[in-house]
Amino acid sequence: MSEIKKSLNFLEQIVEEDLAKGMERSKLKFRFPPEPNGYLHIGHAASICLNFGLGIKYGAPVNLRFDDTNPEKEEQEYVDAIQKDIEWLGFEWAEVLYSSDYFQQLYDWAVRMIKDGKAYVDDQDSKLIAEQKGTPTQAGVNSPFRNRSIEENLDLFEKMKNGDFNEGTHVLRAKIDMTSPNMLMRDPLMYRILHRAHHRTGESWKIYPMYDWTHGESDYIEQISHSLCTLEFKHHRELYDWFLDQVYDAKDVRPKQREFARRNLSYTVMSKRKLLQLVEEGHVNGWDDPRMPTISGLRRRGYTPTSIRDFSETAGIAKRDNVTDLALLEFHIRQELNKVAPRVMAVLDPVKLVITNYPEGQEEMLTAENNPEDEDAGFRTVPFSREIYIEREDFREVANKKFFRLKLGKEVRLKNAYIIQANDVVKNENDEITEIHCTYDPDSKSGSGSEASQRKVKGTIHWVSIDHALEAEVRLYDRLFTDEAPDAHKDKDFKEFLNPESLKKIDKAFIEPSLATATAGDSFQFQRLGYFNVDPDSTNEKLVFNRTVALRDSWAKIQQKK
Ligand code: ATP
Ligand code: MG
């Protein structure tokens, strides 16, 4: 009885109810249907984790279906990137399929609908058609072409297909009900003419099916049992079902559309159109810029598949729209890296410190623990010498009692090394400190067990030996937008809220020499600073690091102070 049963989300409950009503378990099948018009983002991850998670839970297949009915916007680059990201997240699809594989079948069904008097060719332009649609409170009016003969419809539809007409001159519409309270049921478009090359079907098609006509039928062709989509499709469900009615055969599985709330994340935008704008206008350096909410951006930033999956799990699947705090995503990666990331020392804003009583030319290798959170992580050695760098902000000539770092006349411990006391400073003509002069207590070496080593001092600071340190570039990231919901302002463009300080580059940071062998993707905790990973921009000469996340969530505090 000790087993804790996790409560089911409402979509799992729907599946359970269907099984209870007699649906065979072996008939369960799901799909993830991205349009290949951009890179996947953290919102897509919610849908991926949901669909593939159901697949794992019920031992059911999950198809990856590219919903590729918009030749203008779709590209192979996106198809490849999407597959890479899903695999990286750790999921396996049953089949990779394309809506474009069904163009012929969809066309044949449309012809059948024309023959059944359920579809017609309209010669009006989109503006007129829109005007005749009416409003939610006012019925639409029938198109003058609504009742043309089946023969004429068949002839025109074939000509549309053959490319005999210009774009925008004709559309195929379902003949449903221009007075329906659901505007989507007022003779929706099924096909439009587009003389564009498609990334897979090339020049073969001059007409392309609309989303509503394609999606449900594709689900049916693949025999998807539960077609899960986001809330904005709720009103489409009636049409989804109507289109299914036109082709459904009782021996088959009848797909069921159900809706859940989109994942929104604070301080970013999630629409692919907007993300594309950021890329094309150069506000970020590509789709995988570490500030982007894309899966590829998060990967480059140092996020792991588990942290993203855990985040999706914690954030959950909701019935109503909501905004998830970015801090929750950061919490998950911080928690994971705390367990697995090796600790190292790096100094981002260096000031020179000379230990005047340490013999010139002497050096020693000190032992340092790789990860106190992981017993198996072992130890490494760190070189120590007379001249070291510390962070400029870790020293003050005078400071109050709350300043636990180094100040004149007081002691601190150098991490993994000795206790030092600051005695003096050297300044330049601008009154800036260029050197701090200290003395060390030779008996206070960390881990030596001596009485002096166990002496309590208030603070511990990190450092690197100047002679041994490597130079590195460090990229510090902050939120991409200064506003919690940058695209929720009616009168302002979301780009007005871009954070001008979202990237701060430090060209010359110093890191301990054990990092010489680090390679792209490796993650570390820079002690007292945060978690950092090696960026692919690194060269043999110089490593480049991204700050994945700070050690603590400082954002909330900064906001309070404002
Ligand atoms: P966008 O508005 O970002 O372009 P989209 O819905 O057009 O997104 P698709 O490629 O059509 O993107 O999405 C593939 C699947 O992922 C769909 O089932 C869609 O509902 C789901 N999805 C997209 N964005 C989110 C999100 N923010 N939260 C949850 N699911 C999402
Ligand atoms: Mg879409």
- Atom of ligand 1 at shortest range from CA of 275: 3
Query: In this structure, are 232 and 93 located in the same domain?
Result: yes
44 Cβ closer than 6 Å to some ligand 1 atom? yes
Task: Give the pLDDT confidence score for residue 256 in this predicted structure.
Answer: 98
- Within a domain: 424: yes
- Within a domain: 465: no
Query: In this structure, are 312 and 383 located in the same domain?
Result: no
Cα-based distances in Å from 340 to 386, 525, 536, 545: 32, 9, 21, 17
Query: In this structure, are 166 and 251 located in the same domain?
Result: yes
Last residue in a domain, options 260, 292, 324:
260
* Amino acid type, 285: N
Q: Give the phi and the psi of residue 427 in degrees, each rounded to 5.
A: -125, 160
Query: 328: number of CA atoms within 13 Å, CB side?
Result: 17
272 Cβ closer than 6 Å to some ligand 1 atom? yes
Nearest to 119 by CA among 103, 108, 127, 128: 108
Task: Give the pLDDT confidence score for residue 1 in this predicted structure.
Answer: 37
Query: In this structure, are 28 and 174 located in the same domain?
Result: yes
Task: Give the pLDDT confidence score for residue 2 in this predicted structure.
Answer: 39
Nearest CA to ligand 1 atom 18: 229
301 vs 311: CA distance, rounded Å: 16
Helix (H, G, I), strand (E, B), or coil: what is residue 369?
strand
Q: Give the phi and the psi of residue 508 in degrees, each rounded to 5.
A: -130, 85
The number of the ligand nearest the C-alpha atom of 48 reads: 1
290 Cβ closer than 6 Å to some ligand 1 atom? no
- Within a domain: 462: no
- Within a domain: 4: no
Instruction: Look at phi and psi of residue 16 and say left if phi exceeds 0, alpha if psi is from -120 to 50, else beta.
Output: alpha
Alpha-carbon torsion (77, 79, 84, 89), positive or negative = positive
Last residue in a domain, options 457, 489, 520:
457
* Amino acid type, 277: Q
Give 346's contacts (C-beta < 8 A, 6+ positions apart): 462, 464, 472, 474, 509, 510, 511, 512, 515, 526, 527, 529, 532, 545
Contact in structure between 60 and 94 (CB atoms under 8 Å): no
Contact in structure between 480 and 502 (CB atoms under 8 Å): yes
Point out which residues pair with 406 in neighbouring strands. Answer: 395
Nearest to 142 by CA among 180, 112, 114: 180
* Amino acid type, 545: F
Nearest CA to ligand 1 atom 26: 43
- Within a domain: 376: yes
Question: DSSP of 48-110, one letter per residue?
Answer: HHHHHHHHHHHT--EEEEE----TTT--HHHHHHHHHHHHHHT---S-EEEGGGGHHHHHHHH
Alpha-carbon torsion (10, 11, 12, 14), positive or negative = positive
487 Cβ closer than 6 Å to some ligand 1 atom? no
Nearest CA to ligand 1 atom 16: 44
Query: In this structure, are 376 and 477 located in the same domain?
Result: no
Query: In this structure, are 134 and 276 located in the same domain?
Result: no
- Cα(34) to centroid(ligand 2), Å: 7
Contact in structure between 163 and 209 (CB atoms under 8 Å): no
Last residue in a domain, options 404, 422, 457:
457
Nearest to 295 by CA among 250, 257, 265: 265
Task: Give the pLDDT confidence score for residue 553 in this predicted structure.
Answer: 77
Contact in structure between 494 and 269 (CB atoms under 8 Å): yes
510 vs 391: CA distance, rounded Å: 10
- Within a domain: 94: yes
The number of the ligand nearest the C-alpha atom of 35 reads: 1
- Strand arrangement of the beta sheet that strand 343-344 belongs to: 343-344, 523-526, 530-534, 543-550, 470-477, 503-511, 346-347
pTM: 0.94
229 Cβ closer than 6 Å to some ligand 1 atom? yes
Query: In this structure, are 383 and 497 located in the same domain?
Result: no
Query: In this structure, are 149 and 243 located in the same domain?
Result: yes
| pLDDT tens figures, 375-402 | 999 999 999 999 999 999 999 999 999 9
Q: Which residues of the chain have pLDDT under 70?
A: 1-6, 554-562
Query: In this structure, are 36 and 19 located in the same domain?
Result: yes
Q: Which residues form the domain of 392?
A: 351-457
Contact in structure between 37 and 76 (CB atoms under 8 Å): no
99 vs 67: CA distance, rounded Å: 5
Q: Give the phi and the psi of residue 396 in degrees, each rounded to 5.
A: -140, 145
Burial zone of 149 (CB within 10 Å; 0-12 exposed, 13-18 middle, 19+ buried): exposed
Query: In this structure, are 243 and 202 located in the same domain?
Result: yes
Question: DSSP of 371-429, one letter per residue?
Answer: -TT-GGG-EEEEEEESEEEEEGGGEESS--TT--SEEBT-EEEETTS-EEEEEEEEE-T
The number of the ligand nearest the C-alpha atom of 232 reads: 1
Query: In this structure, are 453 and 479 located in the same domain?
Result: no
Point out which residues pair with 533 in neighbouring strands. Answer: 523, 546
297 vs 288: CA distance, rounded Å: 4
- Within a domain: 2: no
- Cα(66) to centroid(ligand 2), Å: 11
Contact in structure between 233 and 261 (CB atoms under 8 Å): no
Query: Annotated catalytic sites, by residue?
Result: 35, 262, 272
CA angle, residues 357, 361, 364, in degrees to nearest 5: 85
**What is the domain count for the chain?**
3
- The CATH number of whichever domain residue 63 belongs to comes to 3.40.50.620
- Cα(305) to centroid(ligand 2), Å: 24
- Strand arrangement of the beta sheet that strand 171-174 belongs to: 119-122, 171-174, 189-193, 207-209
Point out which residues pair with 258 in neighbouring strands. Answer: 228
Query: In this structure, are 172 and 248 located in the same domain?
Result: yes
Task: Give the pLDDT confidence score for residue 560 in this predicted structure.
Answer: 55
109 vs 163: CA distance, rounded Å: 19
- The CATH number of whichever domain residue 311 belongs to comes to 2.40.240.10
Where do the H-state alpha helices sit in 124-236? 126-132, 150-162, 211-222
198 Cβ closer than 6 Å to some ligand 1 atom? no
